[in-house]
Amino acid sequence: MAAQDLRDRGQAFPIYIVMVAGLLFLAFAFFAVGQAAAARNGAQGAADAAALAAAQQARDDLSVPFLQALREPDGLNEFLSGYQYFQAGHSEAVRLASKNRSDVTDFYWRPGYWQDKVTAKVKTRYTVGPSVIPSTRNGHATASATAVIEFRCGLKPAPELPDPGQDEGDDKDKKGKDDSEDAPGPFEFRCDGGQDVTIDLTDKNPFEGLSKLIFSVHLIDD
């Protein structure tokens, strides 16, 4: 009977070894999956930061083209429907990706009416790391993110024009005024949340402090 028990134990021992090896392999495999997920999350964070930074920088640089659009007939509509950003914000995207140990591999804008999209694609400088899955040793994580610059205001109706039958004295008074008063406007906007914004082109810095009120920046799923 004892000999039979020893034979049974001897036969079972290799099975135990295989089971333990299998469990260890599964444990290492799950660890590799965790490594890959961590690298993927890092890449996504870098892509999000890059896209947001690009959109924010581009928004801050809108002062000149936006104010120029207000000076031209139907200029605002043309600006909102066809402004070209080209590589606006690219340097900021590269800088933020670098801070997250990643590189920008692709960068492009897609203009649209009232909403312009910028996409940044990144690749991590670090690898997933060694694991039981050989391909992870030299594998880099990649991700992409899209941010938008969204015009969040509507132009309020212009005030009624003066009566064309005004007397000549009024015309003389106008001729004596400063040339800066020939600028169109002021322009009144009603923005999200019912907030009113006025832009007077005769001011020294008419756009100062207003970019975040007029244009919102946020990430979107794309």
Tell me: the pLDDT tens digits for 53-82? 999 999 999 999 999 999 999 999 999 988
- Give the pLDDT of residue 194: 85
Radius of gyration, CA atoms only, the chain:
31
Q: Which residue has the higher pLDDT, 194 or 90?
A: 90
- Give the pLDDT of residue 5: 55
Q: Which residue has the higher pLDDT, 58 or 136?
A: 58
d(CA 68, CA 62): 10
Tell me: the pLDDT tens digits for 153-184? 998 776 555 555 555 445 445 444 454 556 78
Tell me: the pLDDT tens digits for 82-109? 899 999 999 999 999 999 999 999 999 9
Asked if pLDDT for residue 48 goes beyond 80, the answer is yes
pLDDT band for position 132 (cuts 50, 70, 90): very low
- Give the pLDDT of residue 41: 87
Nearest CA to 67 out of 204, 193, 181 is that of 204
Distances (CA, A) of 222 to 32, 57, 147, 170: 28, 20, 9, 56
Count of C-beta atoms within a 10 Å radius of residue 57: 19
- Mean pLDDT over each residue of the chain, to the nearest integer: 80
Query: What pTM value is reported for the model?
Result: 0.74
